Amino acid sequence: MRTAFVRRTVLSASAVSLALLVSACGGSSDSGTKSDAKASAPASASSAPASASSAPAAKGKTDAELTPLLVTAADAPGFVVAPDAEAKLAAGDSDEITTDKPECKVLVQSQALQKIGTPTGTARTGVTAKAEEAPNATAEQKAQNALGVTATMVGLSSYDGTGAHDLIASIEAAGKACAGGFTATAEGDSTKYESVTAGTGAPVTYGDDDTASLVLTLDLEDGDKAVTYLTAVRTGSTVATFSSISLTGKPESPVTLVAAQSKKLG
């Protein structure tokens, strides 16, 4: 089943997204997954890249300051927010992962919304688009529709000094260095990333702050592909990261959520 191998290969990000997609249909239909399908964990935090002299110094925000700045359903109508996403994501912060190309590790960390470097504060949530369905749809039909929508994990990370700028720079550099693909290994399981290409999740219309938008394509064991949209936008000392997947195909670009979150950060 596609849900099973996405959970296994898209690392901890997929496990959270699966929970979001299932909750969006108002039930816990998990009949299409194997109970022992293990989602690999994201990497432990690595040091942020060297500071760029052109980036202005800044004061980072705390957890308490960032949490109310996270995008909500009120900020983005048509989306559902999962209340327990933070706890699920925080559980993987200390887990280890390796990549055959060290510069690609930041992509997997960002994909799973793991803490990177030494942030002064973080806040994370999970959001899904509301599935379209007929008025008289059955529970099974609602569950199937829910699996097809895009789930996006949204994270805010704040840094002192030039840390936020440096994080965006490392993601942009990894996008170029890892364009031809790489392999990530966690808990003994390896995942092959076939390619990394430029995305459209963070148009330049969001302002002069740094942005990075990438599409990560995974080569799965049975020949299918899984696609993740990875978008990062810096507003002052804070980086907003968006990791989007769909369990039944290519996700939608998170432009609506990026705009709503960027507006809330000011």
Summarised one tens digit per residue, pLDDT across range 8-56 is 334 444 444 444 444 444 433 333 333 333 333 333 334 344 444 454 5
Task: Please give the CATH number for the structural domain made up of 2-30+57-265.
Answer: 3.40.1000.70
Spatial distance between the Cα atoms of 199 and 233, rounded to a whole number of angstroms? 13
pLDDT band at residue 134 using 50, 70 and 90 as cut-offs:
low
**CB neighbourhood size of 26 (10 A):** 12
For the entire predicted model, the pTM comes to 0.79
Distance (Å, whole) CA 73 – CA 71: 7
pLDDT beyond 60 at 235: yes
Residue 205 confidence (pLDDT): 39
| Angle of the 139-148 helix axis to the 11-24 helix axis, nearest 10 | 140
Q: Which two tokens stand for residue 107?
A: 């992509």
- % pLDDT > 90, the chain: 41
pLDDT at 70: 95
Whole-angstrom Cα distance, residue 93 to residue 14?
15
